Amino acid sequence: MADLNKITCFEDFHRLARRRMPRMFYDYAASGSWTESTLRANEQDLQEWLFRQRVAVDIEHRSIRTRMLGEDVTMPVAIAPTGLTGMMHANGEMHGAMAAKKFGIPFTLSTMSICSIEDVAQHTQEPFWFQLYVMRDKTFMENLIRRAQRANCSALVVTLDLQVMGQRHRDIKNGLSAPPKPTLGNLLNLATKPHWCWQMAQTQKRTFRNIVGHAQGVTDVSSLAAWTAEQFDPRLNWDDVKRIKELWGGKLVLKGVMEPEDARMAAESGADALVVSNHGGRQLDGAPSSIKVLPDIVSAVGKDIEVWMDGGIRSGQDVLRAVALGAKGTLIGRSFLYSLGAAGEAGVTKCLQMLAKELDLTMAFCGHNDINKVDASILRRA
């Protein structure tokens, strides 16, 4: 068991997760598409924004509490939807949801999760958000929405930027598939991960449980790969968003917006929030970073719809940068996955504690007491 008292930053979790997780699943979490230039830009461009230190300001009573979708949250952070989470750590989605619940921030379950909607609902007994991919199989997709309604999910997050799948070289080289290919290299690598293997042996949740047994013709992992490969719908359009909103009937978030024109369409669709996101650099390589386009999108629609951001958030300082540039919330993906892979629920809790402390202290150094009153005046360009 890792000594979490010695974990002080994101990179500590990153190194530990890399040692503990099988290579194919670590690479799945870590990789971007093609040259990974957008993946790198997401982190690097955040560092172009420097903080203005202020002194002799009363900062005794501070608060980083805010609201996202009308829900009170401990800080402007939610856990992003991430596929294959239950392969980073056994029952990973359940661990992540519990850590988020106890800390007081939202957790988002992916369509491509290992634990199902019902698994997480039964385990947490609390509302969470559910992320929907638009599939060709509309009956399956509609049933997913109804299952999320029955599980009392409090928001639906529709991902718009996966109509086609970006190519991630590492996944191809590792033979990542469903089920994973038992190559000699993968088997040898698994032999070096006894703790992970022991954990996985203790659970029956080792496939995409939102899909297997629910999609027509998908009864086991052997039939899953072919179904998944042809299901992401390249015909997705704004009429589909309208139909999903009507069917869902609750809070709706649109994820994957990178241009003001699309942001205006998102606002006009009646969605409650949008996420400025390039899918963590996993789709269109060569696209700008999320933080680079955030100000333009806030300027275009920030008065009409909640604007959030994901991509490159590795610290509480990154959260503050995004909030200062107009984001009403942020989502964390890799920060969550690495802390989960390193130490399970306790690791995720530690990660959230670190983010909150960094956010609070940095806000204080900038002379602010209330996260809801922070603006771009705390920043300068490098």
196 touches 21 (CB < 8 A): yes
Residue 246, classified by CB atoms within 10 Å of its CB into exposed (0-12), middle (13-18) or buried (19+), is exposed
Q: Mean pLDDT throughout 270-299?
A: 98
pLDDT at residue 181 greater than cutoff 80: no
Residues 6 or more apart whose CB falls under 8 angstroms from that of 53 comprise 365, 366, 367
Alpha-carbon span 330 to 276, nearest angstrom: 9
Query: Parallel, antiparallel, or unpaired for β 379-381 and 49-51?
Result: antiparallel
Residue whose C-alpha is closest to residue 236's, from 135, 353, 346: 135
Cis peptide before 179 (omega within 30 of 0): yes
Instruction: Assign 221 a pLDDT band (cuts: 50, 70, 90).
Output: low
What is the percentage of the chain residues whose pLDDT exceeds 90?
Answer: 90
- Measured CA to CA, the distance from residue 68 to residue 71 in angstroms comes to 5
* Distances from the Cα of 221 to the Cα of 158, 169, 298, 320, 381, angstroms: 25, 23, 42, 42, 50
Model pLDDT for residues 100-125, shown as the tens digit of each residue: 999 999 999 999 999 999 999 999 99
Residue 179 pLDDT: 54
Cα radius of gyration (the chain): 20
DSSP sequence for 62-95: -B--EEETTEEESSSEEEPP-TTHHHHSTTHHHH
- CB contact at 8 A, 39 and 32: yes
Please tell me what DSSP assigns to residue 376: G
Give, in order, the Cα–Cα distances in Å from 123 to each of 32, 40, 91. Answer: 32, 36, 10
C-alpha to C-alpha distance for 369 and 375, rounded to whole angstroms: 12
Which pLDDT score, from 0 to 100, does residue 172 have? 87
Q: Determine the pLDDT at residue 175.
A: 79
Do the Cβ atoms of 162 and 255 come closer than 8 Å? no
Residue 223: pLDDT over 90: no
Note whether 113 and 151 are within 8 A (CB).
Answer: no
Largest CA distance in the chain: 67
Q: Read out DSSP for 125-189?
A: -S--EEEEE-BS-HHHHHHHHHHHHHTT-SEEEEE-S-SSPPP-HHHHHHT--SSPP--HHHHHH
Residues 341-382 have pLDDT tens digits of 999 999 999 999 999 999 999 999 999 999 999 999 999 999
Q: What is the pLDDT of residue 222?
A: 59
Mean predicted confidence (pLDDT) in 302-330:
98
**pLDDT confidence of residue 224:** 72
Range 7-43 burial, b when 16+ CB lie within 10 A, else e: beebebbbebbbebbbbbbbbbbbbbbbebbbbebbb
Looking at every residue in the chain, the average pLDDT score rounds to 95
Active-site positions? 279
- With tokens 């670190």, the residue in question is 354
What DSSP element (H or E) covers 333? none
Task: Report, as an integer, the average pLDDT of 127-153.
Answer: 97
